[in-house]
Amino acid sequence: MKIMKPAKLHYFKGRGRAETTRWMLAINNIDFINISLEDYNDFDNLKTSGKLPFNQLPLLELDDLKLSQSNAMISFLARRGDLYGKTNEDAVRCDMLVGAVGDFNVPAMQFAFKADKDEASRDLENSLKKFGKHFESILTQNKGKYLVGQKLSIADIIMGESLTSFIEFLPNCLDDYPHLKLLQETVVSEHNIKEYLNSGNRWRLPDEQYVIDIARVLCRPLPSHMSEPNRFVKG
Ligand SMILES: N[C@@H](CCC(=O)N[C@@H](CS)C(=O)NCC(=O)O)C(=O)O
């Protein structure tokens, strides 16, 4: 499928659930524009446009395709870019890893929403303790460089994305995981990924402002430790 126009990725002003799609667009060398929702009106307009299959974000527009569900987006992009290994067994290994990375990554997604940053850091460490040895052993059994087969796949990209956040939160956290460390370095050295990371499309690590931006768009309460937690709630 040849993509004619730059893709449009509708989301909040940050990484969140749209980030894996951004990395997969980048590795596929597909130009994209972040369309950031400012407030509830933007979300409401998008809902009434009929472009949102489930009234949820992110939304990825690829020419006439309107895609919802971030995991569907990234597997579509993996198939398009021949990043699903060579066989059906490789593909299911990729899916298992993408699922496991999603679980591993939960504390990174939640970090900005937590009041106690020491506790949030401990959650990251615990997740690494829980999953790191399994990821490391998969890489060891696969002779080191890639997670599935002997070529780059969606599993490596999604793992690289998550590990990059982990390192941003806890700079030395991969010191005991040499294969994961190498994998992260390999992924961020990919030309297209490097370009993306140095571009204006890459959002900073989620912070309090990001939490506020989401609450404003969704009209939902802020975490209770923040000031005026109900300031965006309607009615
Ligand atoms: N599994 C979906 C989750 C989508 C989701 O929960 N999106 C949130 C924003 S991150 C949303 O749109 N919330 C508003 C709603 O569900 O009404 C995905 O990964 O895309």
Provide the CA 115 distance to its chain's centre, in angstroms.
Answer: 22
Q: Report long-range pairs for 99-105 (Cβ below 8 Å, ≥24 apart).
A: 100/131, 100/134, 100/135, 101/155, 101/158, 101/159, 101/162, 102/71, 103/131, 104/128, 104/130, 104/131, 104/135, 104/162, 105/162, 105/165
- Among 9, 15, 17, 68, say which to mutate for ligand 1: greatest number of ligand atoms within 8 Å of CB: 17
pLDDT at 54: 97
Mean pLDDT score of the chain: 96
Find out whether the beta carbon of 17 lies less than 6 Å from any atom of ligand 1: yes
Q: What CA–CA distances, in Å, run from 202 to 3, 8, 110, 196? A: 21, 14, 19, 7
Nearest CA owner, ligand 1 atom 6: 56
Which is nearest to 29 in space by CA: 67, 80, 70, 64?
A: 80
Find out whether the beta carbon of 219 lies less than 6 Å from any atom of ligand 1: no
Atom of ligand 1 nearest to the CA of 218: 14
42 pLDDT more than 90: yes
Task: Write down the domain spans for the chain.
Answer: 7-80+195-218, 88-190
Atom of ligand 1 nearest to the CA of 56: 12
pLDDT band of 235, cuts 50, 70, 90: confident
Angle between helices 40-49 and 208-218 (to 10 degrees): 50
pLDDT at 143: 86
Find out whether the beta carbon of 107 lies less than 6 Å from any atom of ligand 1: no
As a whole-number percent, the residues of the chain with pLDDT over 70 amount to: 100
Bridge partners of 202?
none
Within this chain, domains 7-80+195-218 and 88-190 share the same CATH topology:
no
Query: Is residue 83 within 8 Å of 157, Cβ to Cβ?
Result: yes
- Among 56, 210, 217, say which to mutate for ligand 1: greatest number of ligand atoms within 8 Å of CB: 56
Provide the CA 80 distance to its chain's centre, in angstroms.
Answer: 18
1 pLDDT more than 80: no
Query: Is residue 145 within 8 Å of 183, Cβ to Cβ?
Result: yes
Find out whether the beta carbon of 218 lies less than 6 Å from any atom of ligand 1: yes
Q: Mean per-residue pLDDT for 31-59?
A: 97
7-80+195-218 CATH choice from 3.40.30.10, 1.25.40.80, 3.30.300.30, 2.130.10.10: 3.40.30.10
129 pLDDT more than 90: yes
49 pLDDT more than 90: yes
Atom of ligand 1 nearest to the CA of 73: 20
- 3-class state of residue 214 by DSSP: helix
Provide the CA 172 distance to its chain's centre, in angstroms.
Answer: 21
pLDDT tens figures, 146-203: 999 999 999 999 999 999 999 999 999 999 999 999 999 999 999 999 999 999 999 9
pLDDT tens figures, 145-162: 899 999 999 999 999 999
| Alpha carbon of 207 to ligand 1 centroid (Å) | 19
CB-CB neighbours of 157 under 10 Å = 28
- CATH number for the domain running over 88-190: 1.20.1050.10
Residues in contact with 70: Cβ distance below 8 Å, sequence separation at least 6, in sequence order? 17, 18, 20, 21, 58
Find out whether the beta carbon of 69 lies less than 6 Å from any atom of ligand 1: yes
Provide the b/e sequence for 31-62 (b: ≥16 CB within 10 Å): ebebebbeeeeebeebeeeeebeeeebbbbbb
pLDDT band of 4, cuts 50, 70, 90: confident
User: Within 13 Å of residue 128, how many CA atoms lie on the same side as its CB?
Assistant: 23
pTM value surpassing 0.95: yes
* Assigned token pair, 48: 């009434």
Nearest CA owner, ligand 1 atom 14: 56
